[in-house]
Amino acid sequence: MSRTKLLITLMFAGCGGGGGPNGLLPDAGDVSPDGHVASADAAPPPTHKARVDVQLIAPGFSEDPETRIVGGFVSQPVCARSTFGSCTVTRCEAGQRDSFAMPGKLHVSYSGGEFGWDPGALTLLFDADIIPWAAGELVVLRGEGSTVPAFTTQAPCPTTLDGGYDGPRFAVALDRSQPMHITWVPAAGDAVISLEQNPTFSTENAHVKIECTSPASAGAIDVPVAALAKLSFSGSILDDVQVRTWHAGTATVNAGDFAVELRVLRAYTDQLTYYKLSQ
């Protein structure tokens, strides 16, 4: 057989097999009405959510810089979750905890090194008295793999978001019958507004976290009454709500059954408000 005839034969053998098991094209059932061809090897969408927050708390007037890494790979949700517009609420009743999968050893890297530890099947709790990333640098997150398959993702470090005031504010009244109006100095990118009640997870009270997202250019957001209604009132100091506004860089990667979201959040140490609930 000549070389020309051999090439033609191979070309037809590779392209003409239809949708059978040995062909390159899927069966007709794999083609959607709009003509999209689904890959037979496409992985199913993730069924679990994970979040790793790298919180960068830049020095204000009296505090040292701090990097906190918090979050977790939730394998079995127990706490109640609800959504109100751009705000999500997670409420864990006293003694309640979600169940977590094991990501293996985690590495959070910067240009001069990395933080590394193995959280096991627990929430992520890591703290360092430095901020090794400048604005615009990439924060790289890598999991070596365990119950959660190995993965790597990265997100940009944002600038420090200015909450528009100097020093923490204490005992600010919070009337849950009205939306909570929060402002900051407009910036590019996204802002994340976090409200947390009972952040130490005391077993005496529910732990409630409200998070709202907004274009940072908006400079303000109203937390809706329906979200504030999820906060607890018992008359104790555990009712106080800590509120901070962050500048955010985000990225998401799939790792087996988990959609892993990395958020790099940056704010000033002193710009934290403690709200006191009125009944």
Contact of 104 with 145, CB cutoff 8 Å? yes
- Total residues found in the chain within this entry: 279
The tens digit of pLDDT for each residue in 96-107 reads: 899 999 999 999
One domain for residues 205 and 94: yes
Contact of 250 with 146, CB cutoff 8 Å? no
What confidence tier does 62 reach under pLDDT thresholds 50, 70, 90?
A: low
The answer to the question of residue 101 being in a domain is yes
pLDDT of residue 37: 41
Q: Is pLDDT above 80 for 36? A: no
The answer to the question of residue 42 being in a domain is no
The answer to the question of residue 168 being in a domain is yes
pLDDT of residue 26: 35
One domain for residues 93 and 177: yes
| Residue that has been written with the tokens 């100097």 in this structure | 166
Among 6-10, 126-130, 261-265, whose mean pLDDT is lowest?
Answer: 6-10
pLDDT of residue 41: 59
One domain for residues 19 and 96: no
Q: Is pLDDT above 80 for 14? A: no
One domain for residues 72 and 208: yes
One domain for residues 24 and 102: no
pLDDT of residue 61: 72
pLDDT of residue 233: 87
pLDDT of residue 204: 77
One domain for residues 80 and 2: no
Among 10-14, 35-39, 46-50, 163-167, whose mean pLDDT is lowest?
Answer: 10-14
Residues in contact with 139: Cβ distance below 8 Å, sequence separation at least 6, in sequence order = 54, 108, 109, 110, 133, 154, 155, 156, 157, 249, 262, 264
The mean pLDDT of the chain is 85
Q: Is pLDDT above 80 for 260? A: yes
| Residue that has been written with the tokens 């890494």 in this structure | 69
One domain for residues 92 and 149: yes
The answer to the question of residue 70 being in a domain is yes
How would DSSP label each residue in 214-243? Answer: EEGGG-EEEE-HHHHTTS---SSGGG-EEE
The answer to the question of residue 38 being in a domain is no
One domain for residues 7 and 119: no
One domain for residues 17 and 73: no
User: How many distinct structural domains can be found in the chain?
Assistant: 2
pLDDT of residue 28: 37
pLDDT of residue 234: 80
In terms of residue numbers, what domain contains 54? 48-277
Mean pLDDT calculated for residue range 229-251:
91
Which has the higher per-residue pLDDT, 279 or 134?
Answer: 134
pLDDT of residue 6: 32
One domain for residues 196 and 231: yes
The answer to the question of residue 41 being in a domain is no
The answer to the question of residue 40 being in a domain is no
Which has the higher per-residue pLDDT, 182 or 33?
Answer: 182
Residue 130: DSSP 8-state: -
- Other C-beta atoms closer than 10 Å to the C-beta of 141 total 23
Q: Is pLDDT above 80 for 33? A: no
One domain for residues 196 and 224: yes
The answer to the question of residue 37 being in a domain is no
One domain for residues 24 and 65: no
